[in-house]
Chains A and B, each alone.
Chain A
């Protein structure tokens, strides 16, 4: 009688099926890890840049009261402070530069500017000694590799009786 030494068909099918399942699973993990690495790397860079840009403005606004702001061209605003100093906030869409006073930074590769909005709002009937107005600066920054807006949103509260922002 002929001696049977090899795998049976069933054994081969089962083995291949198992290997295929494992390979598929590993592929999924590798693809997800790759996406995670790319997305999170970009996200980290965007968040770091966002933190630096916002810190520049918030630090200035914390120690100097604003008295007025004026348009200085497209995507450009100049703030005047109570101590009569001025600081200009502007963006260069072509060069992808963000500028606030002496601070200049280039956006993360692939990012682009969106809206540039500076607005104020005064809430009526607020006690004269308290904050009643809000200055909001929004500079939208997006990157096609990740979802969401990683731009600058600065909110400055002030009392319109003590500070007239025009």
Chain B
């Protein structure tokens, strides 16, 4: 019988070898393609020229008609505005805008929310070019650093892209703290020197059921009372103090807050409204004092008049501690945006 002497490749061996080689080639190709794409992205997205061009467009929008652009965007259902043609409906100086875009070499400008997700969700249904869509998907949201509301995406004539954030600041949450333990005078937290001169009263109340009734004494120019607790002050910090005052006597009078018990006062003001609550507020720093923990003194300057006055809704906020150095809000902002509270309260700014 003839023996099979064929010792060459079997079909199975050939297939295994071919598959292995093919697999290796595909793997190499994919790795090479990834490296190449990484470089292309590096040289196409957020290039130096494109970034400065975006900054120039941002500068133009902010001084041209930004409020109109922002208002139009907010009312726009497509979640973006195409400003590539410098439409006169949004842009005040359309001709200048077009010239600027020509000089900068910008082809497309898309105005959108700073959070790219709002646009990415509907990107497939838009008229935005595929290459710009790819760039928009590439842009990452940096949630922690997002302070501005809007951003622009630009596509340059040379096929490069960039993005820039712009617009009014997006409100950020802040937690403010009332340093008074009982600012609504609900029968604790405050104490007069003489018990007959001041006490909690239900005659008039701005918050809760009680206020502090202070009785003017005919033999005294002022009547004072204190917090029962001490409050630590930081000399370099800015503080916001506010209190509601109610009087029934038509004559004008004045109040002061001292913390610590020395000039200059923390708060002072004239009470010129009668039979209604009047808010007196002030921003002060304590830079002339040392760091100290001290009780706060509240004065009613009765000027020898034996007439009562009522205090309620006392606030003392360390703006530097709660908002950060350099970010302290104005007195007007505090008056408008911070209601009375005890303990901690969240505001947006």
Across the interface, name the chain B residue whose C-beta is closest to A155.
Answer: B56
B9 at the interface (CB under 8 A from A): yes
- Whether A132 contacts B96 by the Cβ 8 Å rule is yes
Q: Which residues of chain B from 30 to 48 have a CB within 8 Å of any chain A CB? A: 32, 35-36, 39, 42-43, 47-48
User: Does A8 reach chain B (CB closer than 8 Å)?
Assistant: yes
Determine whether A20 belongs to the interface, using a CB cutoff of 8 Å to chain B: no
Q: Contact check, B103 vs A155: say whether CB atoms are below 8 A apart.
A: yes
B101 CB to nearest A CB, Å: 11
Expressed in whole angstroms, the minimum distance between the Cβ of B89 and any Cβ of chain A is 17
Q: Is A27 an interface residue (CB 8 A)?
A: no
Assess the B39–A18 pair: CB atoms within 8 A: no
Q: Mark A65-93, 1 if CB is under 8 A from B, else 0.
A: 00000000000000000000000000000
> Which B residues touch A51, using CB under 8 A?
48
Contact across chains for B47 and A47 when beta carbons are under 8 A apart: yes
CA of A130 to CA of B100, assembled, Å: 13
- Give the nearest-CB partner of A58 in chain B: B52
B49–A153 CB distance below 8 A: yes
0 or 1 for each of B126-159: is its CB under 8 Å from A? (1 = yes): 0000000000000000000000000000000010
Residues 15-40 (chain A) with a chain B CB within 8 angstroms? 18, 22, 25-26, 29, 32-33, 36, 40
Query: Considering the chains assembled together, what is the distance between the CA atoms of A48 and B18 in angstroms?
Result: 45
With a cutoff of 8 Å between Cβ atoms, the chain B residues found around residue A148 in the complex are 158
> Is the CB of A60 closer than 8 A to any CB of chain B?
no
> Would you give the shortest CB distance from B162 to chain A, in whole angstroms?
13
In the bound complex, residues from chain A placing their C-beta under 8 Å from that of B63 are 130-131
Most-contacted residue by chain A among B35, B52, B56 (CB, 10 A): B52
Question: Does A5 touch B at the CB level, under 8 Å?
Answer: yes
Docked complex Cα distance between A43 and B40 (Å): 11
Q: Please give, as numbers and ranges, the residues of chain B lying within 8 Å of A33 by CB-CB distance.
A: 32, 35
A157 touches B56 (CB 8 A): yes
CB-based contact B48/A8 at 8 Å: no
- Within 8 Å by CB of B93, from A44, A47, A127, lies A127
With contacts A18-B21, A22-B21, A153-B49 taken as known, whether A40 is within 8 angstroms of B96 at the C-beta atoms is no
A11 to B39 CA separation, bound complex (whole angstroms): 42
* Shortest distance from the beta carbon of A21 to any chain B beta carbon, whole Å: 9
- The B contact surface, by secondary structure, is helix
**Residues A25 and B49 in contact in the complex (CB < 8 Å), given A36-B39, A47-B43, A134-B100:** no
Is A145 an interface position by the 8 A CB rule?
Answer: no
- In this complex, what residue of B is CB-closest to A125? B95
- Contact indicator per residue, chain B 1-21, by CB within 8 Å of chain A (1) or not (0): 000011111000010011001
Instruction: Report A148 CB to chain B, min CB distance, Å.
Output: 8
Closest to B100 in A: A134
Quick check: A157 and B43 within 8 Å, CB to CB?
no
Q: Given contacts A18-B21, A58-B52, A131-B63, are A7 and B99 in contact (CB under 8 A)? A: no
B100-A155 in contact (CB<8A): yes
State whether A126 touches B48 (Cβ < 8 A). no
Q: A155 to chain B: closest CB distance in Å?
A: 5
Which chain A residue shows the least CB distance to B53?
A155
Contacts of A50 in B (CB 8 A): 48-49
Measured between beta carbons, the chain B residues less than 8 angstroms from A153 are: 49, 52
Once the chains are docked, how many angstroms separate the CA of A33 from the CA of B29? 11
Chain B residue numbers with a CB within 8 Å of A136 are 103
Is B104 part of the contact surface with A, judged by Cβ < 8 Å? yes
Are B104 and A123 in touch, CB under 8 angstroms?
no
CA distance A31 to B60 in the complex (A): 46
Contact: A11 with B48, CB < 8 Å?
no
> B229 at interface (Cβ–Cβ under 8 A)?
no
Q: Are A155 and B104 in contact (CB under 8 A)?
A: yes
- Knowing A11-B9, A47-B47, A51-B48 are in contact, say whether A29-B104 is a contact too (CB < 8 A): no
Interface residue ranges, B against A (CB under 8 Å): 5-9, 14, 17-18, 21, 25, 28-29, 32, 35-36, 39, 42-43, 47-49, 52-53, 55-56, 59-60, 63-64, 92-93, 95-96, 99-100, 103-104, 158
9 contacts across the A-B interface (CB closer than 8 A)? A3-B5, A18-B21, A29-B32, A123-B95, A130-B93, A131-B60, A131-B64, A132-B96, A136-B103
* Extra contacts besides A130-B96, A132-B96, A153-B49 (5): CB < 8 Å: A25-B28, A26-B28, A47-B48, A130-B93, A131-B60
